[in-house]
Amino acid sequence: FCVSEKELRELFVNLISSSMDSAYNPSVHPCFAEIIKQMSPLDAKILKEFPLKDVVAIVDYIKEDTRSRSFSVALENVFISSFKDYDIFQTSASISSLIRLGIIDATKTDKIPDKDFYDPFTQTDFFKEFSQETKRHSPFEIAKTRNYCAKLTPLGQNFFRACVAPKY
């Protein structure tokens, strides 16, 4: 299956090439082949959008009860990608998968200081509908985003260098 999917085939080719290149060999880990086997084509596409040393904005869509200050999560690990063929649920699942694989870390306490990075998340169709439904449901509940960020782990950085974007 992996070899038939273009995005995953490219990762395997880069992994093999990197493992034979002495400049990349120290970054190549034996688990990389297994990681690729567990990835979807969307996982590979999203990973290409991650910066090597920087963070990306991620949010959870939450419903907050203004009386009790409690909340419930409607959708976790929301990432806005440039891929129009995939919906917000697919990209959310893909981010969750990359976290599970140890490629990215999304610490919910880390945030990007500039709140403008999070504005696009409140403009999605899902959030607009979720916000309207929340208001209809109760005057004491509001739809919000819980803002945080994600970044490549050290393993993810090595994986990125060896499999996603090697510099040959």
Cross-strand bridge partners of residue 109: none
Q: How far apart are CA 29 and CA 162, in angstroms?
A: 9
Q: Give the pLDDT of residue 100.
A: 97
- CA nearest 65: which of 119, 128, 135? 135
pLDDT band for position 124 (cuts 50, 70, 90): very high
Q: Give the pLDDT of residue 28.
A: 87
For residue range 49-106, list pLDDT tens digits in order: 888 888 999 999 999 998 888 999 999 999 998 888 889 999 999 999 999 999 999 9
Q: Give the pLDDT of residue 155.
A: 96
pTM reported for the whole predicted model: 0.88
Can you give the residue ranges of every domain in the chain?
Answer: 43-156
For residue range 1-51, list pLDDT tens digits in order: 456 789 999 999 999 888 887 776 777 888 999 999 999 999 999 999 888
Q: State the angle between helix axes of 88-100 and 41-49 in degrees (0 to 180), rounded to the nearest 10.
A: 80
For residue range 136-165, list pLDDT tens digits in order: 988 899 999 999 999 999 999 999 999 998
Architecture of domain 43-156: 2-Layer Sandwich (3.30)
Q: Give the pLDDT of residue 24.
A: 65
Q: Give the pLDDT of residue 83.
A: 80
Within 13 A of 8's CA, how many CA atoms are on the CB side?
17
Q: What single string gives the DSSP state of each residue in 86-122?
A: S-HHHHHHHHHHHHHTTSEE--TT---S-GGGGGGGG
